[in-house]
Structure 1
Amino acid sequence: MLAAKTAVAAAVAWYLAPAVPFADAEYSYYAPMGVLVSMYPTVADSARAGVQALGGLALGIVLGFGGLAAVTAGAPAVAAIALVIGAGVALGGIQGLGAGRDWIAIAGLFVLLLGGGHADEFSLSYLLTMAFGVLVGIAANYLLLPPLYLREAGAQLTALRERLALSLERLADDVEAGGVDRERLDRESDELASLAGAVAAGVGEAGRSVRGNPRGRRRATEQEQNDRAWSSLERATLLTREVTEVLARRPQVTKEGGRGRDRQLSAALRDCGDLLAAGASADAMTDAADRASAAVTRYARAVVAQTDDTAQPDSAFAVAGHLSRIVQLCGPAEVRG
């Protein structure tokens, strides 16, 4: 869809570019280029990138005139080129210029080498024709089925919730079996971090796809639900990774009291996993939350009652606290859609 819209917009910009006021039709080929720099998956991204590109072009044009002034003053052409390119690349290091950073040195070089004795005419045509292409690109993205990524973000959030549930289930199996595979737990923790990063990017893109999108006005509530869900699941992911880290590093439990506490821990992990797997059903989540809360409470009481065990009590208290927080974040009062 993006490719099709870009193709249509580039053709329209090329066809209409000769009618741009104050611009020479000879430079109409810059209009499709303006479309290219402004076509992004979302309307908001298109508008931002287009404005940034035009800002970079304006800075580059100023640099190009500076290079021409240096040549007029008697500086060698090679020195003027070096000056323009060096200054353009240096300004391109300013992060705030965004997509416009790449165009500063290019625009300066074009003005210096192609402007010649008609630098004023070339620069004005260059900037206006590119601006026209940017406007056509933004208009095409707005009018031709502007994309919404809310459904995709929701699917990513569901996948993260299910992956967290699976991680807690596996931890429960390990604790119940009496040993853990530290390398596997470290690997799973890293995988959770990568998945959470991908989900954060997806939710962010979905939010941008709503802004400036006429189709997004009717689905603002869905975006709010995604934002709330991500807020809870982001913290639940961090807590799950903390629990994984603690359990991967704790010493092996050998005393009977410690093994009894591990049975409570295994039940708490499993019930917390069931809570995450319950999804958005209010009834199912209420029941799962009640079971998880009771299981975590039993484990916490077992920790308090057996602080003289060989397992590190501070770590056990930390695990109990993390699991309790997961229940609070993902329970029925925090259903995120």
Structure 2
Amino acid sequence: MLAAKTAVAAAVAWYLAPAVPFADAEYSYYAPMGVLVSMYPTVADSARAGAQALGGLALGIVLGFGGLAAVSVGAPAIAAIALVIGAGVALGGIRGLGAGRDWIAIAGLFVLLLGGGSADEFSTSYLVTMAFGVLVGIAANFLLLPPLYLREAGAQLADLRERLALSLERLAGDIETGEVDPARLDRESDELASLAASVAEGMGEAGRSVRGNPRGRGRVAEQEQNDLAWSALERATLLTREVTEVLARRPQVTADGLPRLHRQLGDALRACADLVAAGPSAEDLSPSAEVASAAVTRYARSVAAETDDAAQPDPAFAVAGHLSRIVQLCGPAAARG
């Protein structure tokens, strides 16, 4: 879809460019280039990238005139080229310029080498025609089925929720069987982190796709629900990784000799897994939340009863605290926002 919209917009921009005021028709080929720099998956990204590109072009044009001024007072052309390119690349290091960074040195070089005796006319045509192409690109992205990624973001959240519940379920099985494999737990923790990073990227893109998008006006509630779910799942993922780290690295939590604690920890992990898997779409999360809260409380009380020295923090307390926070994040109160 993006390729098709870009092709249509580029053709329209090139066709209409000769009629653009303050620009020479000779430079109409810059209009499709303006479309290319502004066509991004979302309307907001298109507008931002287009504005940044035009800002970079304007800076480059100023550099190009600086190079021409240097040549006019007797500087060698090779020195002017080095000056313009060096300054353009240096300014391109400013991250705040975004997509415009790449155009500073290019625009400066074009003005210096192609402007010649009509640098004013070339520069005006260059900037105005590119700006026209940018406007056509943004308009095409806005009018021709502007993309909306809320559904895709929701699917990513569901995948993360399922994966998080599976990790908690597997931890419960490991604890109950006494077969804790630190290497495998490390891999699962890294996979969770990678999946969460992917979801974060998808959520950001979904949020940008709503801005300036006429299709997003009636989907505000869906976006808010996704944001609420992501806020809870992001923190629940971090807590689950913390629990995994403790269970993989602290043998006193999983050591033999306390089968009752193993059973209760397994119950708590499995109850949390069921609560996470239920998700905010469940009609009533209260029963699952109550079961999970009770299981975590039993485990925490048993740990307290088995701990001889209260002054020495037991890693098992950290596990109980993390699981309790997961229950709070994924319970009915959090789902309602």
Please classify the TM superposition score into its range, dividing by the shorter chain length.
Answer: over 0.9
Query: Aligned partners of 2:220 and 2:36: how far apart in 1?
Result: 29
Query: Aligned partners of 1:111 and 1:247: how far apart in 2?
Result: 64
Please tell me whether the aligned partners of residues 225 and 336 of structure 1 are also in contact (alpha carbons under 8 angstroms). Answer: no
Counterpart position of 1:228: 228
Query: Aligned partners of 2:28 and 2:259: how far apart in 1?
Result: 78
Query: Aligned partners of 1:177 and 1:295: how far apart in 2?
Result: 18
Please tell me whether the aligned partners of residues 307 and 313 of structure 1 are also in contact (alpha carbons under 8 angstroms). Answer: no
User: In the TM superposition, what is the alpha-carbon distance from 1:241 to its structure 2 partner?
Assistant: 0.4
3-state DSSP of counterpart to 1:282: coil
Counterpart position of 2:125: 125
Counterpart position of 2:332: 332
User: In the TM superposition, what is the alpha-carbon distance from 1:282 to its structure 2 partner?
Assistant: 3.5
User: In the TM superposition, what is the alpha-carbon distance from 1:332 to its structure 2 partner?
Assistant: 1.4
**Which amino acid in the other structure matches residue 126 of structure 1?**
Y
Identity %: 84
Counterpart position of 2:46: 46
3-state DSSP of counterpart to 1:98: helix
3-state DSSP of counterpart to 2:285: helix
Counterpart position of 2:303: 303
Query: Aligned partners of 2:46 and 2:256: how far apart in 1?
Result: 63
Query: Aligned partners of 1:48 and 1:283: how far apart in 2?
Result: 41
Structure 2 residue 217 is the aligned partner of structure 1 residue 217:
yes
Counterpart position of 1:11: 11
Structure 2 residue 94 is the aligned partner of structure 1 residue 90:
no
Deviations 1:211-270 (A, max 9, x none): 0001101001111111111111110010000000000001165553x2211110010001
Please tell me whether the aligned partners of residues 150 and 223 of structure 2 are also in contact (alpha carbons under 8 angstroms). Answer: yes
**Most deviating of 44-53 and 258-267:** 258-267
Counterpart position of 1:277: 277
Q: Classify 1:281/1:227 alpha carbon distance in 2 versus 1 (closer, same or farther; 3 Å).
A: closer
Please tell me whether the aligned partners of residues 5 and 141 of structure 2 are also in contact (alpha carbons under 8 angstroms). Answer: yes
Unaligned residue ranges in structure 2 (runs of 5+): none
User: In the TM superposition, what is the alpha-carbon distance from 1:58 to its structure 2 partner?
Assistant: 0.1
Query: Aligned partners of 2:110 and 2:31: how far apart in 1?
Result: 16
* Structure 2 counterparts to residues 56-205 of structure 1, below 5 A: 56-205=56-205
Query: Aligned partners of 2:8 and 2:334: how far apart in 1?
Result: 45
* Structure 2 counterparts to residues 20-31 of structure 1, below 5 A: 20-31=20-31
Query: Aligned partners of 1:86 and 1:295: how far apart in 2?
Result: 65
Query: Aligned partners of 1:57 and 1:198: how far apart in 2?
Result: 33
**Which amino acid in the other structure matches residue 193 of structure 1?**
A
Structure 2 residue 285 is the aligned partner of structure 1 residue 294:
no
**Which amino acid in the other structure matches residue 326 of structure 1?**
I
Please tell me whether the aligned partners of residues 282 and 332 of structure 1 are also in contact (alpha carbons under 8 angstroms). Answer: no
User: In the TM superposition, what is the alpha-carbon distance from 1:88 to its structure 2 partner?
Assistant: 0.3
- Structure 1 stretches of 4+ with a deviation exceeding 4 A read 252-255
Query: Aligned partners of 1:254 and 1:138: how far apart in 2?
Result: 62
Query: Aligned partners of 1:141 and 1:152: how far apart in 2?
Result: 19
Deviations 1:283-305 (A, max 9, x none): 45222111111100110111111
**Which amino acid in the other structure matches residue 159 of structure 1?**
D
Counterpart position of 1:34: 34
**Most deviating of 174-183 and 8-17:** 174-183
State TM-score, norm by structure 2: 0.97
The alignment yields a C-alpha RMSD, in angstroms, of 1.4
**Which amino acid in the other structure matches residue 38 of structure 1?**
S
User: In the TM superposition, what is the alpha-carbon distance from 1:280 to its structure 2 partner?
Assistant: 3.0
Query: Aligned partners of 2:153 and 2:255: how far apart in 1?
Result: 45
Please tell me whether the aligned partners of residues 271 and 292 of structure 2 are also in contact (alpha carbons under 8 angstroms). Answer: yes
Query: Aligned partners of 1:270 and 1:46: how far apart in 2?
Result: 45
User: In the TM superposition, what is the alpha-carbon distance from 1:334 to its structure 2 partner?
Assistant: 1.8
Query: Aligned partners of 1:130 and 1:254: how far apart in 2?
Result: 68
User: In the TM superposition, what is the alpha-carbon distance from 1:138 to its structure 2 partner?
Assistant: 0.3
Deviations 1:104-132 (A, max 9, x none): 00000000000011100000000000000
3-state DSSP of counterpart to 2:40: coil
Query: Aligned partners of 1:254 and 1:97: how far apart in 2?
Result: 56
Please tell me whether the aligned partners of residues 226 and 336 of structure 1 are also in contact (alpha carbons under 8 angstroms). Answer: no
Please tell me whether the aligned partners of residues 279 and 330 of structure 2 are also in contact (alpha carbons under 8 angstroms). Answer: no
State TM-score, norm by structure 1: 0.97
